[in-house]
């Protein structure tokens, strides 16, 4: 079995900076926020995912002797720093949103506090994991939404960008709403439902389609989901499938009957196939389709009246191919020296891309009906009162203000590590899917829609707003 250590999976500059912090100011502490600015596919929300893998990564952080030998050979780092890495002990505090939560631009999904030399080293992997899994969960949410209750199965491993993209992508797809995955490793690791029956090669390996189906029936009499498009769906595949189904019926064998179509005009073929199955008395036989599907194709074929029970979705889900990057960033928002927190800012050409300074908290605001009415960013330690004034953080909505009165404030984040020790218990993946659906149900419907969704309101407090304005002025001089 192959061993694996991802500690060196970081950008070289994390190490050159860490070495610099170590040499220059070993006591200095920092706060980093992980957040994104733009929602993929111009959607209304992102489904946050990846925390389980972040935890695993942080728990396993260590530099092996082979890593240290390699770093030494680069002749960049001081011997003291390399010795520090040899005895590296993770001692940061980490706060995070829980997986499956719908989140919005500029919200600090993760905050890490600790020695600068440590928090800096985490940047690459924290971003890699969260950017990837949140991207796929977000895409899956879109696809499952248009499937309107039909099962959506994740089938994309062969087109995923590497083994991790397949393994953790399948997990993220389930968090986003998929009913299961073809990927057996993911199913095993995360308690997901493994799905699939046969490919074209099964049929081809026999001298005829009928022979292939009959051989299948012999081996799997209780699970006859037959792939019917190897030669001709309606003139061969469905007819041969019906022969099998009839024999099973005659033999009195209870079986999951169904067909899968992987090519051609889905709407036409499924309508015709449905009629053929119904006419032969197999109203319970299911129809699965699986050819280059995404939310647009699924919406279209359902509107055209296609008769489909479940979807197998491949490359367009597992790579989020229509917009394959969630551009999360990990930015220094404060340092801490002699106990004092000093907010930090990075300016940009646009106000939107300028960072939000300070150590912050994140809340969701609920009304009496349990509906979410916006999110709130505060500076840590701020006391919130009923008449606290909230300001919309969107630079296009600065006129919009709100009082806290009548709203309930629920923290969106939990502490995950305290001084390097894990203090959070991750739920099971299927449980995350369930709570995710529940959280989605509290959001305004207009921000759930796929085209031109409403922008969900994110507010900040007067104190945070003023801190940022003042820092922008200070550094723009």
Interface mask (CB under 8 A) for a second copy, residues 167-196, using x and -? xxx------------xxxx-xx-----xxx
Q: Minimum Å distance from CB 185 to a second copy? A: 4
For residue 251, give the 3-state DSSP assignment.
coil
The answer to whether 218 and 202 are in contact (CB under 8 A) is: no
Is 41 a binding residue for a second copy by CB under 8 A? The answer is: no
Whole-angstrom distance, CA of residue 351 vs CA of residue 341 = 23
Whole-angstrom distance, CA of residue 67 vs CA of residue 10 = 12
Give the burial string for 202-237 (b: 16+ CB within 10 Å, else e).
bbeeeeebbebbeebbeeeeeebbbbbbbeebbebb
Please say which residue, 207 or 387, places its beta carbon nearer to a second copy.
Answer: 207
Is 264 a binding residue for a second copy by CB under 8 A? The answer is: yes
The answer to whether 209 and 189 are in contact (CB under 8 A) is: no
Q: Which of residues 201-260 bind a second copy (CB under 8 A)?
A: 201-202, 204-205, 215-216, 218-220, 223, 230-232
Please say which residue, 113 or 316, places its beta carbon nearer to a second copy.
Answer: 316
Q: Minimum Å distance from CB 297 to a second copy? A: 15
Please say which residue, 166 or 443, places its beta carbon nearer to a second copy.
Answer: 166
Q: Which of residues 149-168 bind a second copy (CB under 8 A)?
A: 155, 157-168
Whole-angstrom distance, CA of residue 12 vs CA of residue 383 = 41
Whole-angstrom distance, CA of residue 135 vs CA of residue 169 = 9
Is 278 a binding residue for a second copy by CB under 8 A? The answer is: no
Residue 146's closest CA among 436, 439, 449?
Answer: 449
Please say which residue, 172 or 448, places its beta carbon nearer to a second copy.
Answer: 172
For residue 45, give the 3-state DSSP assignment.
coil
For residue 110, give the 3-state DSSP assignment.
strand
Q: Which of residues 68-87 bind a second copy (CB under 8 A)?
A: 70-71, 74, 76
Q: Which of residues 1-20 bind a second copy (CB under 8 A)?
A: 1-6, 8-17, 19-20
Binder among 98, 123, 375, 457 for a second copy (CB under 8 A):
123
Interface mask (CB under 8 A) for a second copy, residues 318-337, using x and -? -xxx--xxxxx-xxx--x--
Is 291 a binding residue for a second copy by CB under 8 A? The answer is: no
Is 132 a binding residue for a second copy by CB under 8 A? The answer is: yes
Q: Minimum Å distance from CB 55 to a second copy? A: 13
Q: How far is the CA of 136 from the CAs of 47, 184, 188, 295, in angstroms?
A: 9, 18, 19, 13
Is 128 a binding residue for a second copy by CB under 8 A? The answer is: yes
Largest pairwise CA distance in the chain = 86
Please say which residue, 23 or 278, places its beta carbon nearer to a second copy.
Answer: 23
Whole-angstrom distance, CA of residue 380 vs CA of residue 359 = 6
Please say which residue, 269 or 458, places its beta carbon nearer to a second copy.
Answer: 269
- How open is the CA angle 211-215-216, to the nearest 5 degrees? 120
Q: Minimum Å distance from CB 111 to a second copy? A: 14
Q: Minimum Å distance from CB 470 to a second copy? A: 15
Find the part of the chain contacting a second copy (CB under 8 A) among 315-323, 419-427, 435-443, 454-462. 315-323
Q: Which of residues 335-364 bind a second copy (CB under 8 A)?
A: 335, 344-349, 353
Whole-angstrom distance, CA of residue 106 vs CA of residue 175 = 22
Is 266 a binding residue for a second copy by CB under 8 A? The answer is: no
């Amino acid at each position: 079995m192959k061993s694996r250590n991802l500690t060196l999976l970081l950008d070289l500059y994390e190490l050159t900076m860490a070495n610099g912090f170590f040499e220059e100011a070993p006591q200095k502490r920092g706060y980093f926020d992980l957040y994104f600015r733009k929602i993929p596919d111009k959607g209304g929300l992102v489904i946050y995912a990846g925390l389980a893998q972040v935890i695993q990564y942080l728990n396993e952080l260590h530099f092996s002797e082979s890593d240290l030998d390699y770093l030494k050979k680069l002749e960049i780092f001081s011997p003291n720093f390399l010795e520090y890495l040899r005895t590296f002990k993770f001692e940061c505090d980490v706060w995070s949103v829980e997986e499956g939560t719908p989140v919005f631009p500029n919200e600090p999904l993760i905050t890490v506090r600790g020695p600068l030399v440590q928090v800096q080293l985490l940047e690459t992997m924290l971003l890699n994991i969260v950017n990837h899994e949140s991207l796929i969960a977000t895409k899956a949410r879109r696809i499952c939404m248009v499937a309107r209750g039909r099962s959506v199965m994740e089938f994309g491993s062969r087109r995923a960008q590497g083994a991790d993209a397949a393994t953790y992508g399948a997990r993220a797809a389930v968090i986003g709403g998929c009913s299961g995955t073809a990927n057996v490793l993911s199913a095993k690791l995360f308690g997901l439902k493994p799905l699939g029956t046969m490919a074209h090669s099964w049929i081809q390996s026999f001298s005829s389609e009928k022979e292939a189906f009959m051989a299948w029936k012999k081996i799997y009499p209780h699970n006859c989901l037959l792939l019917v498009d190897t030669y001709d769906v309606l003139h061969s595949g469905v007819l041969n499938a019906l022969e099998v189904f009839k024999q099973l019926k005659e033999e009195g064998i209870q079986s999951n009957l169904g067909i899968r179509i992987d090519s051609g005009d889905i709407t036409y073929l499924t309508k015709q196939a449905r009629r053929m199955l119904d006419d032969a008395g197999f109203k319970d036989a299911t129809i699965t389709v699986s050819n280059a599907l995404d939310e647009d194709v699924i919406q279209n074929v359902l509107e055209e009246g296609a008769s489909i029970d479940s979807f197998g979705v491949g490359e367009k889900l597992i790579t989020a191919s229509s917009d394959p990057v969630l551009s999360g960033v990990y930015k220094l928002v404060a340092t801490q020296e002699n106990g004092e927190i000093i907010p930090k800012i990075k300016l940009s050409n646009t106000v939107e891309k300028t960072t939000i300074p300070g150590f912050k908290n994140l809340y969701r605001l609920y009304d009496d009906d349990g509906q979410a009415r916006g999110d709130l960013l505060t500076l840590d330690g701020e006391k919130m009162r009923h008449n606290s004034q909230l300001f919309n953080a969107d630079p296009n909505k600065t006129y919009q203000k709100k009082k806290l009165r009548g709203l309930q404030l629920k923290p969106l984040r939990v502490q995950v590590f305290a001084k390097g020790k894990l203090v959070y218990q991750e739920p099971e993946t299927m449980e995350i899917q369930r709570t995710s659906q529940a959280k989605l149900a509290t959001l305004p419907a207009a921000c759930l829609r796929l085209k031109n969704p409403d922008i969900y309101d994110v507010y900040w407090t007067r104190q945070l707003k003023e801190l940022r304005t003042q820092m922008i002025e200070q550094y723009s001089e």
